[in-house]
Amino acid sequence: MLNKVEICGVNTAKLPVLTAAKMRELFEAMHNGDPSARTELINGNLRLVLSVIQRFTNRGEYVDDLFQVGCIGLIKAIDNFDLKQNVKFSTYAVPMIIGEIRRYLRDNNAIRVSRSLRDVAYKALQVRDALASKNAREPSVNEIAAELKLPEEEVVLALDAIQEPVSLFEPIYHDGGDPIYVMDQIGDEKNQDSNWLEVIAIRDALRRLSEREKLILTMRFFEGKTQMEVAEEIGISQAQVSRLEKAALNHMRKYI
């Protein structure tokens, strides 16, 4: 997918590249009402969209869909870019393209978040940016909640709800050798030494039971059958199954 040449009918291998001087010339023409200049700006910056969507290709989304959404972000950036600001267009456009793609991924996530919760989260993000700009520091959740006149718990819940799921196979560090993935930084409490020892002890205790006791415990705890089902299958009463089961468990406890 990363090496795909044609995306949405566009041959990405032949996308044009605009110089800084040409970009300024086209922006001035667009602001003077020339629609063809806007079209040329869009076509001349599609490589920017292509470079951004490569960050999201491990999400399982179609490259064509990501490219189209990225183009929407590019068009918004072109329409809102101010030449008077001393900043490169790519510096301004990349965050807008990324933001558009992230919104698309959030709205199309398999984990559905209610519209009201998303609205609270987006308002909280806007307030956070405003307070950070005003106070020159990152605001606390309490300050954001006070500004929104909402309980702090509701703001925390809303912000948590819009967090994007992270793949366990997403690389987080690369030093030239093998990459370190998210899964490499997560502990697995199910595979600790104590658990392995417990499994070995259970197997050893099972070997000390009679064949009938082994059969009853296997059917009850490994196959999930009821005492009545076990009784019907091996041809004894449910009371006998219960008695044999308790005796077998008590016998096993001596060896665990």
Among candidate residues 82, 73, 72, the one with its CA nearest the CA of residue 27: 82
pTM for the model: 0.45
Which SS3 state, helix, strand or coil, does residue 253 take?
Answer: helix
The arithmetic mean of pLDDT across residues 200-220, rounded, is: 85
Q: Is there a contact between 168 and 182 (Cβ–Cβ < 8 Å)? A: yes
Predicted confidence (pLDDT) per residue in 20-39, tens digit: 889 889 999 998 999 899 99
Where do you find CATH 1.10.10.10 in the chain? Answer: 115-161, 191-253
Tokens matching residue 121: 């989260």
Predicted confidence (pLDDT) per residue in 83-142, tens digit: 887 788 888 899 889 988 888 887 776 556 677 887 888 889 899 888 888 888 888 989
Report the chain's mean pLDDT, rounded to a whole number.
Answer: 81
Query: How many C-beta atoms surround the C-beta of residue 47 within 10 A?
Result: 15
Which region holds residue 34: left if phi is over 0, alpha if psi is between -120 and 50, else beta? beta
| Per-residue pLDDT at 194 exceeds 70 | no
Tokens matching residue 25: 């010339």
Return the higher-pLDDT residue of 132 and 75: 75
Question: What's the pLDDT score for residue 195?
Answer: 63
Question: What's the pLDDT score for residue 166?
Answer: 65
Among candidate residues 87, 52, 85, the one with its CA nearest the CA of residue 70: 52
- Dist CA 218 CA 220 (whole Å): 6
Exposure of 70 in the CB half-sphere (CA atoms within 13 A)? 25
Query: How many C-beta atoms surround the C-beta of residue 110 within 10 A?
Result: 6
Q: What is the CATH topology of the domain spanning 191-253?
A: Arc Repressor Mutant, subunit A (1.10.10)
Question: What's the pLDDT score for residue 165?
Answer: 64
Tokens matching residue 12: 């990405």
Which region holds residue 151: left if phi is over 0, alpha if psi is between -120 and 50, else beta? beta
Task: Give bridge partners of residue 7 from the DSSP assignment.
Answer: 10
Instruction: Work out the pLDDT band at 76, boundaries 50, 70, 90.
Output: very high
Question: What's the pLDDT score for residue 65?
Answer: 85
> In this structure, which CATH number among 3.30.750.210, 1.10.287.610, 3.30.70.330, 1.10.10.10 belongs to the domain 115-161?
1.10.10.10
- The one-letter amino acid code at 197 reads L
CATH architecture of 6-107: Up-down Bundle (1.20)
Predicted confidence (pLDDT) per residue in 181-191, tens digit: 666 666 655 55
Burial of 106 (0-12, 13-18, 19+ CB in 10 A): middle
- The one-letter amino acid code at 100 reads E
- 168-172, 209-213, 234-238, 245-249 — which is least confidently predicted? 168-172
- The phi, psi pair for 8, rounded to 5°, reads 55, 35
* Cα pseudo-dihedral 212, 216, 222, 228, rounded to 10: 150
Question: What's the pLDDT score for residue 72?
Answer: 92
Among candidate residues 83, 86, 52, 81, the one with its CA nearest the CA of residue 69: 52
| Per-residue pLDDT at 161 exceeds 90 | no
Question: What's the pLDDT score for residue 1?
Answer: 45
- 3-7, 43-47, 75-79, 214-218 — which is least confidently predicted? 3-7
Question: What's the pLDDT score for residue 192?
Answer: 56
Instruction: Work out the pLDDT band at 8, boundaries 50, 70, 90.
Output: low
Give the rounded percent of residues in the chain with a pLDDT score beyond 70. Answer: 79
Instruction: Work out the pLDDT band at 2, boundaries 50, 70, 90.
Output: very low
| Per-residue pLDDT at 225 exceeds 90 | no
Where do you find CATH 1.20.120.1810 in the chain? Answer: 6-107
Question: What's the pLDDT score for residue 59?
Answer: 67
Question: What's the pLDDT score for residue 187?
Answer: 60
Q: Length of the chain, please? A: 256
Rg (CA), the chain: 31
